[in-house]
Chains A and B, each alone.
Chain A
C-alpha cells in the first residue's frame, strides 16, 4: 500500500510505502508512530492501518477524540473500516491510500497544445505583425524623415509588446517556475496584431458598404479578442482552472470596457460638437452600395429636423430646447 500525505491543495507532501501482509502502520503525533503527523487535532496514537491478505487495508480508530474518517465517514469504533482506496483523515491531515486494487487509468499520450509547440514562430510572426502596423501608421503620415519615423513606429510597437509580455512572463515565473516568455509574446502580439490590422480592414469594408455599424462590431471584436488574450495569459501564468480563468478574464475585460465607456461619455458631455461621422473616406475604392442622388439625400436630411432637437446628453447646465415639445 502507498500512503500519501497531501496538503489542502491536493499536492503530495510525504509518501510512505508498506509491503507484506499483516504490516501494521500507526498514525499519530507520537514519535513512535510509523507515520508521524504534525497536527494539533490528531491524538498521540490516532489510527492503525493494517494491510490485509487480499491487498485491502483495514483502518481502526485508536480512540481519538476527533474520530478517524474514511472518505468523510466516521470509522466505527468496534469494527473499523476496510478500503481499497480512498482518503483517511486523521485530525486535519489527509492521507491518500492506494492499494493494488486501485484501478490505473490508461496511459495518456504526452501532447503540448498548438501554441506551446509553435511558440517561437508564432511569437516572431505576431511581433512582426505588430511592428509592421506601427511602421505602417507612421508611413501613412508620409513624414519627411521616413526611415526614422517608420523605425520608431516599429520599435514602439515592439517595446509595448515586450513590456506587456514581460509582465506576464514574470507572473508565470512566480507561479509556475518557468518564464514561458515566447508563449506570452505569442498571445499578446497575435491578439494585438489582429485588432490593429482588423480595424484597418474593417474601415475599408465599412466605407465600401457604407455600414457605420461596422465600428460597433469592431468594438465587440476587439473586446472578444482582449478576453481571449487575457484568458490565454492567465492560463499560462497561473494554476487556475478553466472556469475561474474565464471568469477572471471576463471581469477584467468588463472593467476595462466600463472604464473606456465612462471616459467616452465624459468627453461627450463636455463637448457638444463631438460628431461621429461615418467611416473614413477611401479614395477610388470599390464600393458595393449605389450612390444616392441629391434629392434622395435631401429627403434624408429632412429627418434631421426632428433629430437636431434630440438631447443625447443630459446635463443640469443645459437649458431645455425652446421647442422641445413639437
Chain B
C-alpha cells in the first residue's frame, strides 16, 4: 500500500495540446511534458557501464555466465507474457482523438477499450471532457488498431470516477472481460494505451492494491503510465480488465493510478443513448456540475471521526472540517529570521477534474501562527500583513469570474480578527463557487494567527456552512 503526500501532483494522462492553458489554472505545479504528443520521444536510458565493469571484476566468469542465462530466461518469459496480453487485447483497444471544429490534426487524444457488445468503449471523462463541455467546437473520433476510423458519441459520464462511455455504431470490436474485484497487492499487471501518440504500447508492472488515503477508490499501479494512455485498459494475468488507466504522479518513479473496473458496470447501465445529441451544452455542463455537487455533499461535509481540532500555542484550530482532510504540522521556514512560524496545513487528498485544467471539490485549511522574536511591533505588523496578503489561488479569466470580497473585524472565540472573504463564480458550471477566507488575529502586537480557508468549486451553501464551522472553531485561550 502506498501513502503519498498531498504535495505530489497527479498528472492527468490525456494528451491535451492546450497544455499551457491547463497548467495555468491549477494551483499546484503540474508538468505538461507528457501532454505534447510525439514532439520529443522520451530519451532512451543509457546503460550504466561503470557498474557493470565493477560487477565483472568481482564475480568469476562461470557464475556470471550462469546468471546471464538465468536472466535471459526470465526476460524471455516476461516479454512473452506482455506480448500475449497485447496480442489478445490489441483489437479491443482504440485511440480516442478529439478534433477542434473542422481541423484534421488532433487537439487531444487518449485511449479506450471495447466492452459489452463491442460497440461501447470505456475511457476517462477527462479524455472526452472538451467534447462534452463544448459539443459544438469539438468532435471525437476513434482510431482502431487496424487503422479504421470513425465518429464517436458520448453516452454517459462519471465525473467522480473519471470515467466515460463512448460508442460508435459501426464498430464491432472484441470486448474485453471485466474483473470486479481489486487485484491483490503484488499481482502482476499490464497497462495498454497510446502514450504520447507513439502508437499502441503495453507496459508491465505490479498492482499495489487500493490507495490508502484516496477518497475515491484508486488502485496503485507501479509501472509506466504516460500521457495518452488515459482510458486504456489495465489487465491482470488472465487478460481481464481490472481497471482503467487514469493518472500518474509526476516527478516520481512509476507511481500510476487506475480506476477499479467495478465502477464501469453502473455506468454502462446508464449509457442508453448519445448524451451530446439529446442534451444541450448547457444541460451537459449542468450534469457535470450536478455530479460534482453530489460528490461534495457526501465528502466535504463528512463529520470527522474524532475531535477535528488541533491545539498550538494557546490556539484551538479547526483542522478536520471534513473527515477526509489530511493535516500536517510543521515549523515553516519563516520569511524573517526574527519571526517564528508554526504551520498546520490540511488538504483533501484528491480533487475532481471538471474541465481540463479546472479542478473542483477542493478544500484546504492553513493555519499559521506567527510569533515575533525581537521585532518591533510595527515591523512585526508588516510581516503579518505580508503573510496575510499571500499569493491568491490562480485561475484563468476564461474559467472563473473575478473575486468579490467582503472584509470586517469580527469577534471570534477569545480574540478579535480581521476576516476577509472572497467569492467567485465559475463561468461554465452554474452553482459552483470558489471561496477564499483569510483570518488575521489583531489583538496581540507580538503574536498573530494568519489562517486561510480555501474551497474550490463548491456550492455556495457548502461554502457558507464550512465557513461557519471554520470561524466558529477558531479559539484562543491566553
Contacts and interface: CB of A to CB of B under 8 A. Distances in A.
Given A140-B379, A298-B464, A304 B397 contact: no
Nearest to B407: A278
B408 A300 contact: yes
B398 A319 contact: yes
A294 B471 contact: yes
B420 A278 contact: yes
B333 interface: no
B464 A282 contact: no
A225 B410 CA distance: 36
A322 B464 contact: no
Contacts of A321: 401, 425, 427
Interface string A128-157: 000000000001111010000000000000
A140 B380 CA distance: 8
A140 B406 contact: no
B410 A297 contact: yes
Contacts of B116: none
A301 B337 CA distance: 37
A293 interface: yes
User: Main SS of chain B's interface residues?
Assistant: mixed
Contacts of A281: 381, 384-385, 388, 418, 440, 442, 448
B359 interface: no
Interface stretch (A15-23, A33-41, A87-95, A306-314): A306-314
Contacts of B389: 277
Given A272-B396, A284-B442, A321-B401, 9 more contacts: A210-B409, A272-B403, A273-B403, A275-B392, A281-B440, A292-B410, A297-B471, A301-B467, A305-B423
A313 B403 CA distance: 11
14 contacts: A140-B379, A141-B379, A142-B375, A142-B383, A272-B397, A272-B400, A281-B384, A282-B442, A283-B448, A284-B377, A291-B416, A294-B412, A304-B406, A305-B460
A71 B282 CA distance: 83
A292 B406 contact: no
B80 interface: no
A293 B468 CA distance: 11
Contacts of A107: none
Contact of B411 (A212, A291, A303): A291
A309 B443 CA distance: 34
Interface residues of A, number: 48
A294 B384 CA distance: 22
Contact of B472 (A144, A294, A303, A308): A294
Contacts of A280: 381, 385
B433 interface: yes
B402 interface: yes
Contacts of A297: 408, 410, 419, 471
Contacts of B396: 272
Nearest to B382: A140
Nearest to B436: A275
Contacts of A276: 405
Contacts of A302: 464
Contacts of A300: 406, 408
B137 to A, nearest CB: 12
A314 B391 CA distance: 24
Contacts of B407: 212, 277-278
Interface string A177-201: 0000000000000000000000000
B285 A322 contact: yes
A263 interface: no
Interface in B360-407: 375-385, 388-389, 392-398, 400-407
Interface of B: 282, 285, 336-338, 375-385, 388-389, 392-398, 400-412, 416, 418-431, 433, 438, 440, 442-445, 448, 460, 464, 467-468, 471-472
A54 interface: no
Q: What are the 10 closest A-B residue pairs judged by CB atoms, nearest first? A: A307-B404, A322-B430, A284-B445, A323-B430, A291-B411, A142-B379, A308-B423, A304-B423, A273-B392, A278-B407
Which of B401, B405, B416, B444 is packed against the most chain A CB atoms within 10 Å? B401
Contacts, number: 155
A210 B402 contact: no
A282 B381 contact: yes
A301 B421 contact: yes
A80 B424 CA distance: 87
Contacts of B380: 283
A289 interface: yes
Nearest to B289: A322
Nearest to B380: A283
Nearest to B385: A280
B427 to A, nearest CB: 5
A323 B412 CA distance: 34
A264 interface: no
Which of A210, A283, A289, A313 is packed against the most chain B CB atoms within 10 Å? A283
Nearest to B433: A308
Contacts of B378: 140
Contacts of A292: 408-411
A109 interface: no
A5 to B, nearest CB: 67
B429 A315 contact: no
Contact of A283 (B395, B402, B426, B442): B442
A241 B110 CA distance: 76
A277 B426 contact: no
A320 interface: yes
Contact of B427 (A278, A294, A301, A318): A318
B379 A139 contact: yes
Contacts of A285: 442
A144 B338 CA distance: 10
A176 interface: no
Contacts of A301: 406, 421, 423, 464, 467
A223 B157 CA distance: 58
Contact of B384 (A283, A289, A320): A283
Contacts of B442: 281-285
B428 A319 contact: yes
Contacts of B408: 210, 292, 297, 300
A317 interface: yes
A135 B393 CA distance: 34
Given A298-B464, A302-B464, A322 B427 contact: yes
A212 to B, nearest CB: 8
B425 A273 contact: no
A225 to B, nearest CB: 24
B184 to A, nearest CB: 45
A275 to B, nearest CB: 5
Given A278-B407, A293-B410, A322-B426, A298 B336 contact: no
A304 B464 CA distance: 10
Contacts of B416: 291
Contacts of B443: 283-284
Given A281-B381, A298-B464, A322-B429, A293 B411 contact: yes
A310 B404 contact: yes
Given A284-B444, A294-B412, A313 B402 contact: yes
A321 B377 CA distance: 45
A287 interface: yes
